[in-house]
Structures are given as C-alpha cells and as structure tokens.
Amino acid sequence: MQIALAQRGTHVSIRTVYRTMSEAGLIHRHRRPHGITKTDTATQDKENLIKRNFTADAPLKKLLTDITEVQCADGKLYVSPILDCFNGEIVALEMRDNMKKELCIDTIKQLREKYGRLEGAILHSDRGCQYTSYAFRSELVTAGLIQSLSGTAHCYDNARMESFFATLKKEKLYQIPTYKMKREEVKTIIFRYIFGYYNTQRINSFNEGGLPPVALRNSKQLSHHVA
C-alpha cells in the first residue's frame, strides 16, 4: 500500500499506513500456511536446493510450484501454478477437479510448451506424492528441470508460493461466493485474475519499485538488449 501511494505522489511512513488501515478495519489476520499434499517418506533425504532463498537474478532459473484447493458448488477445484522467483510471475497454470499426479505433470508440460527446455533450472515443491512420483520426475528430466523438495511439515520452505495462494484468495476468491459457483466459472475468474491482473498490473512488493511481474521481466530484457 505504501508503494501504491508513493506511485501516486503521496509519501507516508509504513507506520502511518498501518495505523490508518487498522483504524479502517483493513488489516487482514495472518494465516499460517499449510499444505494439502501428502508426504512420501521414501524421499525424506532429498536435498532442498533453494533453502528458503526465493530470489533469482534472471527469469526461469528458479521456479516454485504447489497445489491449492477452492470449494465450488460442484466440488473442489485444484489449482496448480508455477511461480518464477525472479519476478513473481505465474508462468504456467493448470486447474482441474482432482489433485492426481497428472495435474502436476501437465503443469510442467505447459511450461515446456511455452518456454522450451529449461536446462538446469530448479523447480521447488513440497514432498507430496504427486511430486515424488516416477512419472512427474520423468517429466522434469524431459523439461531439463532439477528437482528441489521442502522438508517434511516445513511449510515455510515454500513460503513464497504459499504467499501467492494467500494473495489469490484474499484479493479475489474470498470476495466471491465460490461455493455457490461452478468450477468452470471459478477457473475463468482465477485465470483472468492471474494473467489479466496479477502478472501485468498488480504491485509486487518483492520487485524493485513494486513493478508488476511482466513489467520487471520486460525491463530486464530491454536492459540486456541495450547492453
């Protein structure tokens, strides 16, 4: 909020912003992140390659993924995105009515179709059985990705992905009665929020100057071209 005000010419301290929002009842209660995928104990010794360092100096070098669920009128909708640590951009997104391994596999396939083989890029997730399955790991090899896994019950090992889910729900899904809406309608709302607003317009506090993800990526590509 402080960044948004500054971009409009109003410069105030974080304390002033917090006090004003608190008085107006606009401070949301902190939600402790929790995963919904089951743990496969056979992979407990797998190394966590990112070790809670959610930064990257170039696009498509360090990626995060996870699954969240949304209650709809005709059942649960499972949302599987991939987030780029460089700029916070959602670079792939699959949604369907189950959380079987194929949901995660097809998310990787979509990433590969959009960007080609990402040789040496890291993809981090929790240790859910979807991500430790042979079929998923085979797809990672095909895509050139190196797997990184969170520790068991260590939700903060993938905190930036959890932060995105919290933003999606707080800013969009909690504002509408998804439990009264069909899955297909909710899928459209999520798709439009992410690709029509979150990636392209929303201030991102992780990025320098609060730039939206796509704006930061474009500025990086422009500076590289000029150099």
Q: What is the pLDDT along the chain (227 residues), one digit of tens a residue?
A: 656 656 566 666 767 766 777 767 666 555 554 555 554 444 454 579 999 999 999 999 999 999 999 999 999 999 999 999 999 999 999 999 999 999 999 999 999 999 999 999 999 999 999 999 999 999 999 999 999 999 887 889 999 999 999 999 999 999 999 999 999 999 999 999 999 999 999 999 899 899 999 999 998 876 655 55
Name the region of 7 (left: φ>0; alpha: ψ -120 to 50; beta: rest): alpha
CATH 1.10.40.50 fits 31-202, yes or no: no
**What is the pLDDT, as a whole number, of residue 27?**
63
Residue-range domain boundaries for the chain: 31-202
Tokens for 40, please give them.
């496969």
**What is the pLDDT, as a whole number, of residue 98?**
97
**What is the pLDDT, as a whole number, of residue 183?**
98
